Amino acid sequence: MGSWFRDYVFYPISVSKRMLRFSKWSRKTFGDGFGKRLPLHIPIICVWFLTGLWHGATWNFIAWGLANGIVIMISIELGSLYERFHKRLPGAAGSRIYGAFAIFRTFWLMSLIRSFDIYDGVGNTFRMMSTVFTNFGISDFFTRGVSELTLHIQDYFAAGAGLIVVFWVSYLGRGGIDFRDKLAAFSWQKRYVVVGVILFMVLVLGAYGVGYDTRQFIYNRF
């Protein structure tokens, strides 16, 4: 899907005659800095608007798509700031503390945007987002707050196993090791064993929980 949006939405808009004329106008009006990047932001917003619409013809999914596009736009605009930060403080930028902060920042931001998938209505979603700051209690993690999630012990084991696998693959990636390349370097016997274990985990851990229905799947409402 990403390739389709890139080839049939992003590139056609980016290189269209109107966008090329707009690019010249924006550079002339806003300068070579923001004026050069502005024509890039428009196709990004178009792609993410359509991505949200593809997931569902509701305002929640459109807001989800636009939120992702806006985050990408902000990241592009802050690119020069990040570059100066890495040059002036290479030790801090390459430290484990900053790496942990970057992981937490991305995870928290993406989880917040995923709230549009959960709650009904854009206004209700923003109200629930605000409770993260207005109704946050650390004590809930150590009292009945976690137990009220109605998760069974097997759910916690499944979530824990998934987190371990995701963390391990992410850790290998940060070390410059691609999991698929590492798997391809195994002998065919080891490779089939690993693939078999992964397939078994998907089949077993992916089909459980109260109210699970084999006729349903993740995109059945889209």
- Coil, strand or helix: which one is 9? helix
pLDDT digit string, tens, across residues 40-53: 999 999 999 999 99
Task: With beta carbons less than 8 A apart as the criterion, state whether 73 and 65 touch.
Answer: no
Ranges of the chain with pLDDT below 50 = none
**Torsion angle defined by CA atoms of residues 78, 81, 83 and 84, in that order, rounded to the nearest 10 degrees:** 180
As a whole number of angstroms, the distance between CA 88 and CA 95 comes to 14
Q: Of 111, 33, 34, whose CA–CA distance to 71 is shortest?
A: 111
Task: Return the pLDDT at 7.
Answer: 93
Q: Does the pTM of the predicted model rise above 0.95? A: no
Task: With beta carbons less than 8 A apart as the criterion, state whether 26 and 39 touch.
Answer: yes
Residue spans of the domains in the chain: they are 145-222
Task: Return the pLDDT at 59.
Answer: 93
As a whole number of angstroms, the distance between CA 51 and CA 49 comes to 5
pLDDT digit string, tens, across residues 130-161: 888 887 777 766 666 666 666 677 777 878 88
Task: Return the pLDDT at 203.
Answer: 76
